[in-house]
Structure 1
Amino acid sequence: MSDILAELTRVRDAFDKPTLRLLDRKWAPLVLAVFRTTFTRDQKTVPAERLHQQVDNYLDELKLAGEPSPEGPGRALCMQWLAHKWLVRSRDEDGAEFYSLTSHALEALDLVQSLTRDRTLISESRIHTILDVVRRFANEADPDRDTRIARLEAHIAELTAERDRLAEGGDIEPATDDHMLDSYTNLHSLIGQLPSDFKRVEEAVAGMHRQIISDFRNEERPVVEVLDEYLAKSDSLMKLTPEGRAFEGAFALLRDEPLLVDLRRDLDVILTHPFAQTLAPGEQREFRRTVKTIQDGIRDVLGERQRLSATLRAHIVGYDVAKDRELDAVLRQINQELEAWMQTAGPRATVEVELVPPRIDVEHLRERFWDPADAAPPPPLEDVSDNAPAAPDLEAIRRQGGPSLVELRQALVIAAMTPDGSSVADVFSALPERLRRPVELLGMVHLLLGARPDDGDGFPEAEALLAALDGEELVEAVRPDGTRRAFTVPVLPLRASDADALVEGARP
């Protein structure tokens, strides 16, 4: 019989995996287009609410363009993709939810990316890569000492001959653009497989994390057995699976800083070749980010392992051995009491056991206890008197105060008794500078208007006169800091009767 049934079973198993289920769906092109648009090498995670809104916007754009699209809101579609294991949802330390692609979705995207390339991956560069790997593996697998020495000598002789030829001035044949492009395509294909490999390792560690948490919560096995299984799985994950071996190799690369420096320099040298002009700026940028891609994948896997280790540490710290021993003692005592009771109890005898203790009526429970630190006096104030500014003198304080009414009143009385037609502006301008502050001008007007008699309506006669005047005068005031300011005031002439009123107003 042929092997058709066995092959059919294996193919069906492959189609049951999320990767091929994604490619086999009706809306597979749309889902992959959303993934390629939303998730990039720089944007590996997207906040949940933002992805829901983006999917809604994408669907609206497709409907406007006449493209068919699935029905339902973006949130419902994301939930479906989450259930199909194309998306994974996680929380950060602040509790915010994020979406990221699973390894199955990354594999589907890599496959679509490889099918969209114009050049085939079967090239001279790919064959050389295979030959180099096979030669190195054969050398490592051959246990014969003489054979290994012969291989090494042949390789050394080949390299020595090439070095001597170049040292003697031999020509260096430049690599053609086609050869470099083939090599770049091969290398880009190998680099493109790293994110999905790292994601598979991360998912394997996350699955182990969920299983260990379940074992801890169910308490079906002792803690020692759970820890032993974790260590065994961790060792097998890193050494027995292709993903684990890829991770171990990348981790060794990360620890070798000179090797990383050489890798970055080699990537830059490759892009200096003229063939790089045919690459898009995005392709060149992604090629330069090869080292960062490796570092990001390693950081994600190590972060998942750290979360797993934190869970183990928290359970071990919280595990109460004394409590387990106390429970065992109580159970043994119950067995002893049951044995004594069964000697006299009948076959249908029962014992009333109170499973839930009675409720305790407590009116108030103290929530806070007295803390001596709360009653401690505050610390003494720091003496900063040495840093205090100098106190202002009396003259400086006076210059910042109100008008000098006594001196202003004397000046107005003298001017009113002299029948020369002087006005308030003339009297103010004749004062010394220390009495020509802006506030002194206001004080002088206040004194004159307060000395004028009322006109019977409750308003001073001077105010009525002031309202009827159209003339204005310009006076110059001097501020305490020496700056000058010009003011325009109405013409307020002084009368002989103002002198008596000013003198009468000065009496208490």
Structure 2
Amino acid sequence: MGEVVGELARVRDALERPTLRLLDGKWAAFRVAVLRCSFSRDRRSVQADRLHVQVDTFIDELQGQGIDVPSNANGRALCNAWVNDQWLFRDNSPDGNLVYSLTSFALEALDLVQGLSRERVLVSESRLTTILDTVRRWAMEAAPDAEARIERLNTQIRELKAERDRLQAGGEVAAASDDRMLDGYTNLIDLIGQLPSDFKRVEESVLDMHREILRDFRDDDRAVAEVLDEYLRKQDELVKGTPEGRAFDGAFVLLRDDALLLELRENVHVILAHPAAAALDSGDLNDIRGAEIVIRQGTKDVLTQRRRLTATLKEHIVNHDALQERELGRVLRGIERELSTWMETAGQRASVPLELLPPMAKVGHFRERLWDPASAAPPPPLEPLDDDTPEPPTVEQLRLQGGPSLEDLRAALLDAITDGDLDTVGQLFNELPSELRRPVEILGLLHVVSGAGALHDTEESEVYEAVRAGGVRRNFLVPVIPLSESDTVAVEGLTLAGDVDG
């Protein structure tokens, strides 16, 4: 009986959550349909007046089709009710307009409906493979025994080496079947769909912390230092002590790693190039392509809430005057003592004439500053600093900070076309010396090729490995431009901005 009672309490608590309350009741389908039509991944917030009109339009359209809608309902009343039910969040946007956005509870409910409306099931080989890979990776992280971890690594190395040797020996590389790719697409879409609600929970946690900080500031019993300590402790617990906070921290690390973002974009391009991607609808394709945008937008929203909280702390610390508050407290306590003394002898209907504001004191004008001979003295002479003057930059240093070397690039392009050893302009750029592989040289090379009429529309791209003046390397994706002997005459006859004849 005790187990059943405890389970009943947990189930009741789950059913009372706003997520399931949105999906319960006579008007559940109406609410979900309106919210799904009003918000999307690209439209995360809507101005208040616009949403009110939009909901009214949906109601009129449904009534025109003979579909039941809530009686005596209008857009403003429904939105206010949904805010009270914790399905909508109302706040001021950075430009000062009042906007609505979905709460994490509403996002979870819409994701649940989206998952149930899909035809393909999520229990598939792709989902199980993801679970097995995750368990395998964390088992390696959790193993306290060094020998056990070494054995796991050796096993993986042997498996990878055997696969590499098989491929090098001419082994067949079997492409994934359409069914397997569709299972993978479904699994990936489901994982990406969970990100907005996760980020929203972190944002709401920061917002709750913001409200608690404001309430603590209004409490005279707590010192500023104590409130700051509480804020730092809660912020640390939010990032490290909750699944949503750890997910946000991981996403923030991902955004700071250019290599990981580049790998993510390349992998998304590869999996969408498979023929099975043609079976996906436009919404699923946009979900997969927008994975990076979802991570960036969710992180941006959380950081915005954190900046608002930090601004509140700064404003209170700057404007908080403890001495003035103590003086006001002494005045109020003195008035209370005098009032208590007066009430010992005064009757029930006794009154005392009291002015709301004290009379203004009439004081003549006083000089605020007197003449000071020191203020009229000239400033001391400047000290000569000829010995500390730095050496002027050399011509080579200035050239490295300037525009592209068009003549050198045209000469290199002609040599590459004549030799015939390279197939594309990207290969030519990667073979150039370091002083001709600055990022600006890419624009110069494209300028030369464009002037020769050698640019062609293509969907393929290749990596240009650029080298900055300080030796830092950066990769850029540029459309593939083939090298052809037919372009020799056009390149030789090209007139550049730096030519004497031009």
Match of 2:164 in 1: 163
Q: Which has the larger radius of gyration?
A: 1
Amino acid across the alignment from 2:225: V
Amino acid across the alignment from 2:323: A
Match of 2:275 in 1: 274
> Shift in Å at residue 96 of structure 1?
1.5
Match of 2:316 in 1: 315
Match of 1:30 in 2: 30
CA distance in 2, matches of 1:266, 1:46: 33
Match of 1:214 in 2: 215
1:163–1:12 distance in 2 versus 1, CA, 3 Å? same
Match of 2:397 in 1: none
1:284–1:316 distance in 2 versus 1, CA, 3 Å? same
Amino acid across the alignment from 1:152: L
> Shift in Å at residue 200 of structure 1?
0.4
Amino acid across the alignment from 2:313: L
Match of 1:20 in 2: 20
Cα deviation 1:109-141 (Å, max 9, x = unaligned):
000001001011011111111111111111111
CA distance in 1, matches of 2:35, 2:107: 9
Cα deviation 1:231-266 (Å, max 9, x = unaligned):
111110111111111111111111111100110110
Amino acid across the alignment from 2:357: R
1:155–1:327 distance in 2 versus 1, CA, 3 Å? same
Match of 1:423 in 2: none
Cα deviation 1:386-406 (Å, max 9, x = unaligned):
xxxxxxxxxxxxxxxxxxxxx
Q: Structure 1 length as normaliser, TM-score?
A: 0.66
CA distance in 2, matches of 1:69, 1:40: 23
Match of 1:298 in 2: 299
Match of 2:182 in 1: 181
- What SS does the aligned partner of 2:99 have? strand
Cα deviation 1:365-418 (Å, max 9, x = unaligned):
99xxxxxxxxxxxxxxxxxxxxxxxxxxxxxxxxxxxxxxxxxxxxxxxxxxxx
Q: Is structure 2 residue 133 aligned with structure 1 residue 147?
A: no
- What SS does the aligned partner of 1:3 have? helix
> Shift in Å at residue 347 of structure 1?
12
1:225–1:39 distance in 2 versus 1, CA, 3 Å? same
Match of 2:46 in 1: 46
Q: Is structure 2 residue 368 aligned with structure 1 residue 359?
A: no
Is 2:192–2:287's contact at 8 Å kept on the other side of the alignment? no
Amino acid across the alignment from 1:359: L
- What SS does the aligned partner of 1:169 have? coil
Greater CA drift, 117-126 or 219-228: 219-228
> Shift in Å at residue 225 of structure 1?
1.2
- What SS does the aligned partner of 2:23 have? helix
- What SS does the aligned partner of 1:277 have? helix
Greater CA drift, 209-218 or 355-364: 355-364
CA distance in 1, matches of 2:363, 2:327: 29
Matches for 1:31-180 after TM superposition, within 5 Å: 31-71=31-71, 72-180=73-181
Q: Structure 2 length as normaliser, TM-score?
A: 0.67
Match of 2:495 in 1: none
* Unpaired segments ≥5 residues, structure 2: 365-502
> Shift in Å at residue 224 of structure 1?
1.2
Cα deviation 1:41-86 (Å, max 9, x = unaligned):
1100111111111111101111110111112211111111111000
Matches for 1:293-442 after TM superposition, within 5 Å: 293-324=294-325, 326=327, 359-360=357-358
- What SS does the aligned partner of 1:98 have? strand
- What SS does the aligned partner of 2:90 have? strand
Is 2:189–2:284's contact at 8 Å kept on the other side of the alignment? no
Q: Is structure 2 residue 232 aligned with structure 1 residue 259?
A: no
- Taking only the aligned residue pairs, the percentage that are identical comes to 53
Q: Is structure 2 residue 9 aligned with structure 1 residue 9?
A: yes
Q: Count matched residues.
A: 359
CA distance in 2, matches of 1:13, 1:118: 31
Cα deviation 1:398-449 (Å, max 9, x = unaligned):
xxxxxxxxxxxxxxxxxxxxxxxxxxxxxxxxxxxxxxxxxxxxxxxxxxxx
Cα deviation 1:136-160 (Å, max 9, x = unaligned):
1111111011000000111111111
Amino acid across the alignment from 1:44: R
CA distance in 2, matches of 1:141, 1:10: 31
> Shift in Å at residue 93 of structure 1?
3.9
1:96–1:358 distance in 2 versus 1, CA, 3 Å? closer
Q: Is structure 2 residue 201 aligned with structure 1 residue 238?
A: no
- What SS does the aligned partner of 1:100 have? strand
Is 2:188–2:288's contact at 8 Å kept on the other side of the alignment? no
Amino acid across the alignment from 1:132: D
CA distance in 1, matches of 2:342, 2:322: 38
CA distance in 1, matches of 2:363, 2:116: 71
Q: Is structure 2 residue 275 aligned with structure 1 residue 285?
A: no
Is 2:92–2:98's contact at 8 Å kept on the other side of the alignment? yes
1:208–1:355 distance in 2 versus 1, CA, 3 Å? farther
CA distance in 1, matches of 2:65, 2:325: 67
Is 2:254–2:261's contact at 8 Å kept on the other side of the alignment? yes
- What SS does the aligned partner of 2:165 have? helix
CA distance in 2, matches of 1:193, 1:106: 9
CA distance in 2, matches of 1:245, 1:365: 63
CA distance in 2, matches of 1:202, 1:39: 18
CA distance in 1, matches of 2:280, 2:363: 74
Amino acid across the alignment from 1:56: D
Amino acid across the alignment from 2:248: F
1:291–1:355 distance in 2 versus 1, CA, 3 Å? farther
1:365–1:31 distance in 2 versus 1, CA, 3 Å? farther
> Shift in Å at residue 285 of structure 1?
2.1
> Shift in Å at residue 325 of structure 1?
5.6
Is 2:88–2:103's contact at 8 Å kept on the other side of the alignment? yes
Amino acid across the alignment from 1:130: I
CA distance in 1, matches of 2:351, 2:228: 38
1:348–1:75 distance in 2 versus 1, CA, 3 Å? closer
Amino acid across the alignment from 1:314: E
CA distance in 1, matches of 2:101, 2:332: 49
1:349–1:225 distance in 2 versus 1, CA, 3 Å? farther
* Unpaired segments ≥5 residues, structure 1: 367-508
- What SS does the aligned partner of 1:181 have? helix
The alignment's C-alpha RMSD in Å is 3.0
> Shift in Å at residue 217 of structure 1?
2.0
CA distance in 2, matches of 1:245, 1:238: 5
CA distance in 1, matches of 2:110, 2:363: 61
CA distance in 1, matches of 2:156, 2:355: 83
CA distance in 2, matches of 1:244, 1:138: 22
1:104–1:349 distance in 2 versus 1, CA, 3 Å? same
1:355–1:308 distance in 2 versus 1, CA, 3 Å? farther
Q: Is structure 2 residue 187 aligned with structure 1 residue 203?
A: no
